[in-house]
Structure 1
Amino acid sequence: MRVIGLISGTSVDGIDAALVDVGGQGYELSLSLLDGLTWPYPTELQQQILALCAGEAVDLETLARLDDAVAHTFVDAAQALMAQAGPAELVASHGQTVFHRPVGRPALSHQGPVQLGYTLQLGRGAVLAQRLGLPVVSDFRQADIEAGGEGAPLAPVLDLCLLSHPTEHRCVQNLGGIGNVAYLPPWHRRGSPPKVLGWDTGPANSLIDIAIYTLSEGSLTYDEDGAWAAQGTPCLALVNDWLEHPYFVQPPPKSTGRELFGWEFFQRCHQEAQRQGLSVVDILATLTEFTAASVAREYRTFLPTLPDRVLVSGGGSHNPVLMARLQAHLPDLPVQPTDAVGLSASYKEAIAFAVLGYWQRQGFAGNLPAVTGASGPVVLGRLSPPAGTL
């Protein structure tokens, strides 16, 4: 089946679209990436999404319009991919996360602590189905949350199927806006799979992107090739202070987002950096060091043993300074992009949701309860059938 996977991550830097040819049953997948692209958001829409993620209040009509605008941009991404790579039979769209509250985080309620998590993705699947004339699977996180899980991370199941090794313990580390890890014990990719561990490790590009946008006065949206960080010197005292955040002692399963490691956290970091007299490039170097150090600390704190290899995906895999600092914190392990073992680092997350959409049509459970904390396996996603075109 030819399936398009679509996702825009917490960096809000564009929509990753991957067309894959997927077959097989359950974990015994056959899969090939046919083509992929990253479709940019219109600047105004991107700024509206970022403002909403930063906590800006909007009325319900504005939120509804934003939801539709995101959906139409996802349509544009899917159409552009099909124009260059041919038709698809199914679309699986994660949408754009704008709010994520994990299980048990307190809410302002007279009814006591929240027992279920909450997550919100914009870009409703029904709009995609109408305009594309294709079945669309979306709303992937809700079923896991209703089963008591975090609804995240969901990509480790793809890592299990495609990146497990017969003899190696592997960590697959995604460095999107937020970092997440899958810990894969050795597996021959047949028979019963081993128990996979996985969780969000904390910030990846979220703080770096906010910093570069703020410190460049809006002229840049990310630190290309780590160029600013490469010119600076990290302040290790600040890195060690930021690592005292309660999230880093919370045991998995756990997930997070810009609600913790976004604008408010950056403002604190920026103020403390200014008091230390750091230059703008020193601030970028310090945030980059913090990201790498937090990943390594999560491994040493929560993994049963360090892996034999670390495979990295997401935008951070293209940042040579961040990759070098991660390697420095894990000196005895190879740290490589997933491309080194045949899986696109740029499109891995989009491929993951294409697989989850394929599994939804099979009625196959796509979550890993040991990763998300759900009470059991559940089928993920909701189907929107095609209803003609607009």
Structure 2
Amino acid sequence: MTRVIGLMSGTSVDGIDAALVDISGQDLDIKVELVEKATYPYPSALRERILSVCAGEAISMPEFAQLDDAIAIAFAEAAVNIQTVHEGASLIGSHGQTVFHRPPIGVEEANEVNLGYSLQLGRGPLITALTGITTVSNFRAADIAVGGQGAPLVPRVDAALLAHPNEIRCIQNIGGIGNVTYIPNRSGDWLSQIRGWDTGPGNSLLDLAVHQLSDGTKNYDENGEWAASGKICQPLVDKWLKHPYFQAPPPKSTGRELFGFDYITQCFDEAKEYQLNAADFLATLTELTATSIVYNYRHFLPQTPQRVLLCGGGSRNLYLKQRLQALLGSTSVTTTDEFGLNADFKEAIAFAVLAYWRQDGSPGNLPCATGAKQEVLLGEVFER
């Protein structure tokens, strides 16, 4: 058994999710027990700095280095704090903080390499130095180097922990960005049939809208209550669904570069002609998240899932969950909590598993999900 810390901060930049887990077994046949969990908010000034960089603000190289260090220090502190009661971690898997993500561009030309690029700050060597614990970080780079999107990286973990012998499942994470893992029955050549990609906006647009509509007093719509009090503007949803990203077949990945500050500004502008109040606008944005997920399922899945398991912060948005259930009809919509995997910390748990696999010599990516040319070991290892 190995005690591992998984560290994750997503596109919502809410804070650092830390999961302390015990892992045993090999490759897909592993057991994971969640020992401790906690979310450590970023200091407000650091969060604002990260968000401004994600929005495209130019910074100098000294400022860049300072930001990288500040994030690493915050991640290291999270790793130390999660062990206050339960000690003994010998490994950290740190996703870091994504500040830029560019998927592979188009078709490769004769003299050009059109690989993707993804940048996560919070460098592993500093986390190792501050904690004294071997750290695996920079997980996306190896998949990108062999032609993959570098995202999503959780499908292989989902396959190991949530596959079922008789049930077709979709694991739908709703963080800032939504991503899906389609898992067929665990029989035959099932692993090669898994699919995964980013479905589009999760909470990113909703959180930005709530912050603006509340004059900065709120950062998210708790339980979706504000949106639930409004009316959906279907013509606007239909217009937004024509975005090229939704139409593009997988493999595909995205981030705040596409569904961030510029896009929410566009959404506000396009909503003006419909004279929506704040609740109506949020109801319509929520419907975009729900409808875009279902659109991806109907157009790109091999089969309709029998069950959808939600995770991530959006899984706690009761209104969003209700809209997904309504749109999916007979498909059961629940959360990973009901199947033994904490919905709030699943992503942090996943990077603990990916670090464990890196040390174990097992590949972490699924080419059928990321589009990579081959399976590879994920992450750079920094020994204590």
In which range does the TM-score fall when normalised by the shorter chain?
over 0.9
Shift of 1:269: 0.3
Per-residue CA deviations over 1:140-159 (Å, capped at 9, x if unaligned) read 00000001100000011111
Contact 1:104 1:113 in 2 (8 A): no
**In structure 2, what is the Cα distance between the partners aligned to 1:266 and 1:296?**
21
Per-residue CA deviations over 1:164-208 (Å, capped at 9, x if unaligned) read 0110000000000000000000016x9973521110000000000
Alignment of 1:327-342 (within 5 A): 327-342=325-340
Aligned-residue identity in percent:
53
Alignment of 1:1-390 (within 5 A): 1-104=2-105, 115-187=114-186, 193-386=191-384
Per-residue CA deviations over 1:280-317 (Å, capped at 9, x if unaligned) read 11111110011000000000000111100000000000
SS where residue 42 of structure 2 aligns?
Answer: coil
Per-residue CA deviations over 1:99-120 (Å, capped at 9, x if unaligned) read 00001159xxx99865100000
What TM-score does the superposition give when structure 2 sets the normalisation length? Answer: 0.97
Contact 2:192 2:368 in 1 (8 A): no
SS where residue 379 of structure 1 aligns?
Answer: coil
Aligned-pair Cα RMSD in Å: 1.7
SS where residue 255 of structure 1 aligns?
Answer: coil
Amino acid at match of 1:103: P
Per-residue CA deviations over 1:199-247 (Å, capped at 9, x if unaligned) read 0000000000111111112111111111211111111111000000001
Per-residue CA deviations over 1:51-80 (Å, capped at 9, x if unaligned) read 111111111111110111111111111111
Shift of 1:274: 2.2
Q: Structure 2: state its 5+ residue gaps.
A: none
Q: 1:192 to 1:72 in 2, by over 3 A?
A: same
Aligned residue-pair number? 383
Contact 1:172 1:182 in 2 (8 A): yes
**In structure 2, what is the Cα distance between the partners aligned to 1:118 and 1:193?**
26
Moved more, 309-318 or 76-85: 76-85
Shift of 1:126: 0.8
**In structure 1, what is the Cα distance between the partners aligned to 2:292 and 2:190?**
32
Q: Structure 1: state its 5+ residue gaps.
A: none
SS where residue 339 of structure 1 aligns?
Answer: helix
Q: 1:192 to 1:281 in 2, by over 3 A?
A: closer
Shift of 1:276: 1.5
**In structure 2, what is the Cα distance between the partners aligned to 1:213 and 1:57?**
23
What TM-score does the superposition give when structure 1 sets the normalisation length? Answer: 0.95
SS where residue 51 of structure 2 aligns?
Answer: helix
SS where residue 82 of structure 1 aligns?
Answer: coil
**In structure 1, what is the Cα distance between the partners aligned to 2:105 and 2:34?**
38
SS where residue 266 of structure 2 aligns?
Answer: helix
Amino acid at match of 1:377: E
**In structure 1, what is the Cα distance between the partners aligned to 2:167 and 2:146?**
32
Moved more, 51-60 or 139-148: 51-60
**In structure 2, what is the Cα distance between the partners aligned to 1:379 and 1:23?**
19
